[in-house]
């Protein structure tokens, strides 16, 4: 979180310095740089709505269709000092949380590092929430498959003090 704040501070100062110089072409470039998609560095989350991470205990995928059909995880970890993780874990009630795809996957063409997108249902305890999963599958050595993704769901007032849209970074290997 400190890294993100430092990057935002540096970008703001740079934009202010450029805009004070009066050269509108540099000012426009600075605005585009600040507003455009930012690369995701190792350990840095570019999307402010992502405050949790989870490690998939199990996941199913279709190699030929390049789709993750479902995955489960037991806990979420917060990347900052948010009470959201506690609320999610409390709602789960010690049960495994899961995502199940309800559509075919499609290519993802957004600004994040993922290649595919699929919609489905995220189950936390007895609550079923509509969710989208952005993901990338990567083959490893000896038939191992890795996946990284971002599960985004509508909060629907389920979690207090959380945004309307909540995201969880998910990773797994099989």
Per-residue pLDDT tens over the stretch 122-169: 999 999 999 999 999 888 888 788 889 999 998 777 787 778 888 999
pLDDT digits (tens, 9 = 90+) for 43-94: 333 444 557 899 998 888 777 777 788 999 999 998 776 788 888 999 999 8
Question: Environment class of residue 88 by beta-carbon count within 10 Å: exposed (0-12), middle (13-18) or buried (19+)?
Answer: buried
CB of 18 closer than 8 Å to CB of 45: no
Domain residue ranges of the chain, discontinuous segments joined by + = 2-35, 50-173
Residues 14 and 6: beta-carbon distance below 8 Å = no
Residues 155 and 151: their CA atoms lie apart, in Å, by 12
CATH architecture entry for 50-173: Beta Barrel (2.40)
């Amino acid at each position: 979180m400190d890294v993100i704040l430092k990057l935002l501070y540096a970008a703001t100062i740079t934009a202010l310095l450029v805009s004070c110089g009066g050269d509108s072409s540099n000012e426009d470039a600075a605005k585009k740089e600040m507003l455009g998609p930012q690369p995701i560095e190792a350990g840095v989350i570019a999307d402010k709505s992502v405050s949790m991470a989870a490690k998939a205990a199990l996941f199913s995928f279709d190699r030929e269709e390049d789709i993750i059909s479902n995955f489960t995880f037991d806990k979420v970890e917060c990347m900052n000092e948010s009470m959201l993780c506690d609320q999610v874990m409390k709602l789960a009630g010690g049960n495994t949380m899961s995502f199940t795809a309800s559509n075919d996957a499609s290519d993802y063409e957004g600004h994040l590092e993922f290649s595919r997108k699929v919609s489905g249902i995220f189950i936390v305890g007895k609550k079923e929430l509509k969710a989208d999963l952005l993901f990338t599958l990567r083959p490893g050595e000896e038939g191992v498959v890795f996946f990284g993704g971002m599960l985004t769901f509508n909060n629907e007032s389920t979690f207090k003090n959380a945004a309307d849209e909540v995201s969880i970074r998910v990773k797994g290997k099989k």
